[in-house]
Structure 1
Amino acid sequence: MAPFLDTVKSFADVPITDAGVDTAAFLDASTGVLGLFDILGSTAFAPVTSDIKGNISKVRARYEATPAQSATLEELVKNEQGEKKRTATEGLMWLLRGLAFTCAALLTAQADNKVELSTAFTRGYEQTLKKFHGILVKGIFTVAMKACPYRKDFYAKLAADPTGGPPAPESKVSEELDKWLAALDLIVKRMEAFYEKNGYNKGF
């Protein structure tokens, strides 16, 4: 078995066409993020992983119920408008916010190899989710940031071969993570602009 990034679907492999972001591939790649938080290893991140998992389920339920109208994220959202609850629209909105937080944190870590994860995730939180949270949730995230593992331990786990073989070279791990993050950042920004332009983020 290969190191972690080879075991999950990369956002770089999520097709994007004129019609939009492929829903099924996006959900598969998003599920891989949960494994990333497993590597972070702290129970303090449980509220984050629970939120991401729950929102993936909401979007997936809509996709499975209306596959012909939900092939892309954009079509899925458009075709839910006019309904009373818009569960998948809200779920995807919060999923994108959780992914934006993860992406911003890891981009910060990748940009400077001296930055510890606690600092990177704190900066990522301030750039993304913090403005949407009340005092109680901000407190939960503050605890989670402080519980981040040391940078060297996290990257060692990303590189480790679960079968006991030699770890992947640091350069390969960094290269794959850069591709994963660049593609995720592109999707998040594309979808955030789509929500904002059409007012799909209103009413929640």
Structure 2
Amino acid sequence: MAPYFETVKSFADVPITDAGVDTKEFLDASKGLLGIFTLLNSSAFAPVTGDIEGNIKKVEERYNNNPGSSATLEQLVINEQGEKKKTATQGLMWLLRGQSFTCKALQSAQGNPSQELSEAFTKGYEGSLKKHHNFVVKGVFSVAMKACPYRKDFYEKLKTDPAGGPPVDEAKFNEGLDQWLTSLESIVNRLEAFYAKGDYGKGL
């Protein structure tokens, strides 16, 4: 697996039981996803990073204040429904949308080796967040897409071992990244279906 993915919690390692997706482990993996935008190394992604980081914090605060009723993401959402603000429910909803955007973008890049990141992230945005954004926010994302680094430079950062280890095997790298993305996609799809079934996003 690529050195970067060896340094963060993988979505493939997030426990999922009949009760739902483990909240703490999911949050740990989500922080690893946040680091991808740091590797993109563009100030244009600051609004995206800030949004994801803020939504992680909303869910994390709910978990820390109510660990007994928030062990899984599903339990967290269900147990917040009697409250007026539903801050964590809203935060998780937008976090999932941001994760869907990132996942779709990287899956597009993985499926098209000659595709530059600007195109991959544009496709990811069009298939996820765009329908939820107003004109102003769409403009912010449009600027960010154009500011994506070259694919080659970004992938080199994903593969490079900060400690100066041996070169990453290409097949092993792709296997690790694909597994990470497939697991993320599965969790996002599961929670999106959960939100739709319970109509938990209504009014948020």
Q: TM > 0.5 between the two? A: yes
Distance 1:62 1:132 in 2: 24
Does the CA contact (< 8 Å) of 1:58 and 1:91 recur in 2? yes
1:56 and 1:91 in contact (8 A); partners too: yes
Q: CA deviation at 1:112?
A: 1.2
Q: Deviations over 1:77-136 (max 9, x none)?
A: 000001000000000000000000000000101111011110000000000000010111
Partner of residue 137, structure 1 = 137
Q: Give the secondary-structure state (helix, strand or coil) at the position aligned to 2:80.
A: coil
Q: Which structure 2 residues correspond to residues 94-133 of structure 1 after superposition, within 5 A?
A: 94-133=94-133
Identity of aligned residues (%): 67
CA distance in 1: counterparts of 2:165 and 2:66, whole angstroms:
44
1:156 match = 156
Distance 1:165 1:187 in 2: 32
Compute the displacement of 1:164 (Å).
2.1
Aligned to 1:21: 21
Q: Structure 1 stretches (4+) deviating beyond 3 angstroms? A: none
Indicate the SS of the match to 1:9. coil
Query: Aligned letter for 1:7?
Result: T
Normalising by structure 1, we get a TM-score of: 0.98
AA at the equivalent of 2:138: K
SS at match of 2:71: coil
RMSD: 0.8
Instruction: Give, in whole Å, the separation in 1 of the partners of 2:35 and 2:104.
Output: 17
* Equivalent in the alignment of 1:36: 36
**DSSP-derived class of the 1:79 partner:** helix
Contact 1:3 1:167 in 2 (8 A): no
Check if 1:191 corresponds to 2:164.
no
1:172 pairs with 2:172:
yes
Gaps of 5+ in 2: none
Q: What is the aligned partner in structure 2 of residue 74 from structure 1?
A: 74
Normalised by the length of structure 2, the TM-score is 0.98
Unaligned runs of 5+ in 1: none
Alpha-carbon distance between aligned partners in 1 of 2:171 and 2:43, rounded to the nearest angstrom: 29
| Number of aligned positions between the proteins | 203
Partner of 1:85: 85
> What CA distance in whole angstroms lies between the structure 1 residues aligned with 2:159 and 2:56?
26
